[in-house]
Amino acid sequence: MSHASTLSNILMQLQRAMGVALGAILLNVAVSLRNGRAAHLLAQVDFRIAFAVMVLVSLLSVLWYWPLRKDTGAQLLNRK
Protein backbone atom coordinates (compact mmCIF):
# COMPACT_ATOMS: atom_id res chain seq x y z
CA MET A 1 0.00 0.00 0.00
CA SER A 2 2.86 2.39 0.72
CA HIS A 3 4.08 2.07 -2.88
CA ALA A 4 0.73 3.30 -4.16
CA SER A 5 0.79 6.18 -1.71
CA THR A 6 4.29 7.15 -2.80
CA LEU A 7 3.32 7.03 -6.46
CA SER A 8 0.22 9.10 -5.75
CA ASN A 9 2.27 11.76 -3.95
CA ILE A 10 4.81 11.91 -6.77
CA LEU A 11 2.07 12.30 -9.37
CA MET A 12 0.40 15.08 -7.37
CA GLN A 13 3.68 16.97 -7.09
CA LEU A 14 4.26 16.53 -10.81
CA GLN A 15 0.78 17.85 -11.58
CA ARG A 16 1.36 20.91 -9.40
CA ALA A 17 4.67 21.61 -11.13
CA MET A 18 3.04 21.27 -14.55
CA GLY A 19 0.27 23.65 -13.48
CA VAL A 20 2.79 26.26 -12.36
CA ALA A 21 4.75 25.85 -15.59
CA LEU A 22 1.59 26.17 -17.69
CA GLY A 23 0.60 29.29 -15.76
CA ALA A 24 4.00 30.85 -16.39
CA ILE A 25 3.81 30.00 -20.09
CA LEU A 26 0.32 31.48 -20.33
CA LEU A 27 1.46 34.68 -18.63
CA ASN A 28 4.32 34.94 -21.12
CA VAL A 29 1.93 34.41 -24.04
CA ALA A 30 -0.53 36.95 -22.63
CA VAL A 31 2.23 39.56 -22.42
CA SER A 32 3.29 38.75 -25.97
CA LEU A 33 -0.29 39.16 -27.20
CA ARG A 34 -0.20 42.80 -26.14
CA ASN A 35 2.16 43.38 -29.09
CA GLY A 36 5.17 44.17 -26.98
CA ARG A 37 3.74 47.26 -25.28
CA ALA A 38 5.60 47.26 -21.97
CA ALA A 39 6.36 43.61 -22.68
CA HIS A 40 8.55 43.31 -19.61
CA LEU A 41 5.73 44.38 -17.27
CA LEU A 42 2.83 42.19 -16.28
CA ALA A 43 -0.59 43.80 -16.27
CA GLN A 44 -3.83 42.71 -14.67
CA VAL A 45 -5.21 41.69 -18.06
CA ASP A 46 -2.34 39.20 -18.46
CA PHE A 47 -3.38 37.40 -15.30
CA ARG A 48 -7.02 37.41 -16.39
CA ILE A 49 -6.12 35.78 -19.71
CA ALA A 50 -3.90 33.18 -18.04
CA PHE A 51 -6.53 32.42 -15.40
CA ALA A 52 -9.28 32.06 -18.01
CA VAL A 53 -7.21 29.62 -20.04
CA MET A 54 -6.36 27.63 -16.90
CA VAL A 55 -10.07 27.39 -16.09
CA LEU A 56 -10.78 26.09 -19.59
CA VAL A 57 -8.01 23.51 -19.30
CA SER A 58 -9.42 22.39 -15.94
CA LEU A 59 -12.91 22.09 -17.39
CA LEU A 60 -11.59 19.73 -20.05
CA SER A 61 -11.49 17.05 -17.34
CA VAL A 62 -15.30 17.01 -17.45
CA LEU A 63 -15.05 15.39 -20.89
CA TRP A 64 -13.16 12.49 -19.30
CA TYR A 65 -15.76 11.84 -16.59
CA TRP A 66 -18.94 12.70 -18.52
CA PRO A 67 -19.43 9.24 -20.12
CA LEU A 68 -19.31 7.42 -16.76
CA ARG A 69 -22.47 5.65 -15.76
CA LYS A 70 -24.46 6.92 -12.81
CA ASP A 71 -23.66 3.86 -10.68
CA THR A 72 -19.91 3.98 -11.29
CA GLY A 73 -18.12 3.59 -7.98
CA ALA A 74 -21.23 2.44 -6.11
CA GLN A 75 -19.42 -0.73 -4.97
CA LEU A 76 -17.07 1.46 -2.93
CA LEU A 77 -19.96 2.53 -0.69
CA ASN A 78 -20.78 -1.08 0.24
CA ARG A 79 -17.35 -2.24 1.39
CA LYS A 80 -16.64 -2.82 5.07
- Encode pLDDT of 21-63 as tens digits: 999 999 988 888 877 665 678 889 889 999 999 999 999 989 9
Q: Identify the H or E element spanning 48.
A: helix 44-59
Question: With contact defined as beta carbons under 8 Å apart, do 34 and 43 qualify?
Answer: yes
User: Where does the pLDDT of residue 1 fall: very low under 50, low under 70, confident under 90, or very high at 90 and above?
Assistant: low
Residues ≥6 apart with Cβ < 8 Å to 50: 23, 26, 27, 29, 30
Overall pTM surpassing 0.75 (yes/no): no
**CA distances, 18 to each of 1, 5, 44, 60 (Å):** 26, 20, 23, 16
**pLDDT for res 36:** 67
**pLDDT for res 15:** 93
